[in-house]
Amino acid sequence: MKKIIDDFLATIKPLIGLTTQGGWIVPNSIQYKIIKHDQNKIIINVDFHETNIDASGCVFDPIECNGYLALYFDSNNTLLKFEVLEYL
């Protein structure tokens, strides 16, 4: 299951809804912790850094971001969908 989650988060797509500045996610900063694991659903808390570049090309210091994702699986542990959770 860890590899499935790692590979999914590496696509960056699920984290876009958790950014705060509309910047870029720093891929090697992504970490998560499993909060709840049911039969077909896993809730994770994700931490990562977001960075941004202004019009002149200056890179801002990374901002710490975090949030919760619910991951839904079928009986074969295939990831079916995900959702960003506003709260637990």
Q: Round to whole Å and give the CA distance between 5 and 9.
A: 6
What global pTM score does this model have?
0.87
Q: What is the pLDDT along the chain (88 residues), one digit of tens a residue?
A: 899 999 999 998 889 889 988 888 999 999 999 999 998 999 999 999 999 888 888 888 899 999 999 999 999 999 999 999 987 7
Give the domain range for residue 43. Answer: 2-85
pLDDT for 76 equals 93
Question: Is the Cβ–Cβ distance between 46 and 27 less than 8 Å?
Answer: no
Q: Round to whole Å and give the CA distance between 43 and 18.
A: 15
pLDDT for 53 equals 84
Q: Domains in the chain: how many in total?
A: 1
pLDDT for 13 equals 85
Question: Is the Cβ–Cβ distance between 63 and 23 less than 8 Å?
Answer: yes
Q: Round to whole Å and give the CA distance between 40 and 77.
A: 8
